[in-house]
């Protein structure tokens, strides 16, 4: 296991220039779900799939900018129920393994033999699930803000751990739920997010989403918190997250992704994690790196969770540059 702490004073490169898709697709993946897919960069380049977080967050335009567009064929998609995929905030036929199957459907539809995956937060979880299921289809893995949906990880952010570091923001999240239900905040929110009252669903969704938005970066970002509270975004984000969390990610057993990390042995990998990540503590990245010693673990000493943190950007871009030379 190679571990490197990035020097905060070292020169840091930023994102590649903004770009637009050269092609978009609507792919019907079930009788219910249709997903949005886009391709950017070099149509004849090395394929890469960007795997967004949440679950339920959707892919943003800056996700197109972590790879050299002259070298890479960059594929983005909105997972079931979120972003530009439809129907919005839908929980039926929405599991980890449905999404893994969707990724395979995209690969087949686009005529791609193997591709690199870059995923952060929930995107790292889904990328791991895909790579451990289809290792022969993965040419490289770049993972950020590692999240494997173990019970201890969920309890840290949604029950008690992060509350010690952001008590004022957590109080709003906690106090939305009556005292008699606060022993299981995920379950209490899930009941409201899946209930019959649309006003309660939206109110719960906004509080859930804005709590997460408040904890993403090392420094406060009020604009991000407000954006997380937008109704269309918040409903999909909170409903789908709580759906996955009460179902333990739909995994067969606790800790499955780290237990099965030996399947990643032939895949070149880079793990990037902020030292002060409140959403997904660095311990999870360390646990994954111990189980997958062939990967390189890069710890950014002055970063939180967000993909946009300068040190995170620098490490992710450096990783995609190193991998293209392979």
Q: Which residues are tagged catalytic? A: 121, 277, 305
Collect all residues with Cβ–Cβ distance below 8 Å to 200 and sequence separation of at least 6: 192
- Which tokens hold the place of 84? 């530009």
User: 38 has which bridge partners?
Assistant: 24, 76
- CA distance linking residue 272 with residue 265, whole number of Å: 18
**Owner of token pair 């950014």:** 300
**Phi, psi for residue 5 in degrees, rounded to 5:** -95, 125
CA dist list (Å): 325 to 93, 140, 266, 311, 318: 39, 12, 17, 22, 11
Confirm if 83 and 30 have CB atoms less than 8 A apart.
no
- Which tokens hold the place of 203? 């109110």
- CA distance linking residue 140 with residue 270, whole number of Å: 8
Q: Which helix (H) or strand (E) holds 209?
A: helix 198-214
Confirm if 123 and 52 have CB atoms less than 8 A apart.
yes
Provide the Cα torsion 219, 244, 98, 94; round to 10°: -100
DSSP label at residue 86: B
**Whose CA is closest to 112, among 46, 36, 28, 27?**
46
Per-residue exposure over 47-86, b if at least 16 CB sit within 10 Å of its own CB, e if not: bbbbbbbbbbbbbeeebbbbbbbebbbbbbbbbbbbbbbb
């Amino acid at each position: 296991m190679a571990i490197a702490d990035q020097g905060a004073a070292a020169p840091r490169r930023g994102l590649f220039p903004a770009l637009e898709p050269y092609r978009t697709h609507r792919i019907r993946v079930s009788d219910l779900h249709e997903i949005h897919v886009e391709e950017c960069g070099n149509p004849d380049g090395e394929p890469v799939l960007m795997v967004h977080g949440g679950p339920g967050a959707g892919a943003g335009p800056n996700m197109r900018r972590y790879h050299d567009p002259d070298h890479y064929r960059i594929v983005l998609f909105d997972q079931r129920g979120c972003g530009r995929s439809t129907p919005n905030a839908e929980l039926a036929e929405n599991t980890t393994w449905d999404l893994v199957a969707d990724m395979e459907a995209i690969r087949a539809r686009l005529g791609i033999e193997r591709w690199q995956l870059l995923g952060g937060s929930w995107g790292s979880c889904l990328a791991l699930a895909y790579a451990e299921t289809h290792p022969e289809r993965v040419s490289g893995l770049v993972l950020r803000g590692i999240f494997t949906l173990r019970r201890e990880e969920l309890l840290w952010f949604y029950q008690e751990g992060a509350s010690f570091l952001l008590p004022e923001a957590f109080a709003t999240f906690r106090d939305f739920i009556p005292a008699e239900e606060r022993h299981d905040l995920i379950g209490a929110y899930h009941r409201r997010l899946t209930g019959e009252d649309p006003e309660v669903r939206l109110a719960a969704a906004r509080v859930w989403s804005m709590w997460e938005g408040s904890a993403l970066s090392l420094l406060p970002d009020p604009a991000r918190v407000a954006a997380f509270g937008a109704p269309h975004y918040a409903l999909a984000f909170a409903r789908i997250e709580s759906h996955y969390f009460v179902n333990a990610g739909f995994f067969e057993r606790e800790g499955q992704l780290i237990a099965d990390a030996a399947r990643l042995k032939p895949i070149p990998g880079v793990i990037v994690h902020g030292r002060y990540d409140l959403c997904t503590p660095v311990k999870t990245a360390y646990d994954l790196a111990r189980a997958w010693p062939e990967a390189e673990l890069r710890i950014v000493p002055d970063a939180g969770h967000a993909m946009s943190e300068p040190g995170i950007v620098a490490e992710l871009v450096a990783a995609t540059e190193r991998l293209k030379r392979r």
